[in-house]
Amino acid sequence: YKKMEEFAQNSTVPALFVHGDDHKFTIDHPIYYVDKKTGYFGNRPFVTRLQVYGFPNVRAVEVKVEPNSPQPFAFYSLEPIPWQYKK
């Protein structure tokens, strides 16, 4: 997470971080900061996180990128994939 914070503080280009930590489908802007001049608390909207599905709700997420758009990432949840854990 520290590396993501460092990246967000030093970058002004849109970035997408993808992971599968809690197995809940989530799209958000998780990097927050406090403006030292105003004291206001906010997030860095150009850093987007996609947390993908996990067991038992395994499915794919399609990501489309429009580089010239203010919000360049679009997400599409695909149908569940039949899957069973085998030992």
Q: Is the pTM of this model over 0.85?
A: no
Residue 60 lies in a domain: yes
Residue 76 lies in a domain: yes
CB neighbours of residue 31 within 10 Å:
22
Q: pLDDT for 43-87, tens place per residue?
A: 777 889 999 988 778 788 999 999 998 889 999 998 876 767 777
CB neighbours of residue 57 within 10 Å:
12
Residue 74 lies in a domain: yes
Parallel, antiparallel, or unpaired for β 73-80 and 59-65? Answer: antiparallel
Host domain of residue 55: 2-80
Residue 62 confidence (pLDDT): 95
- Token code pair at residue 44: 């860095």
Q: pLDDT for 2-51, tens place per residue?
A: 777 777 777 788 889 998 866 788 999 888 777 778 888 777 778 899 99
Residue 20 confidence (pLDDT): 84
Number of folded domains that form the chain: 1
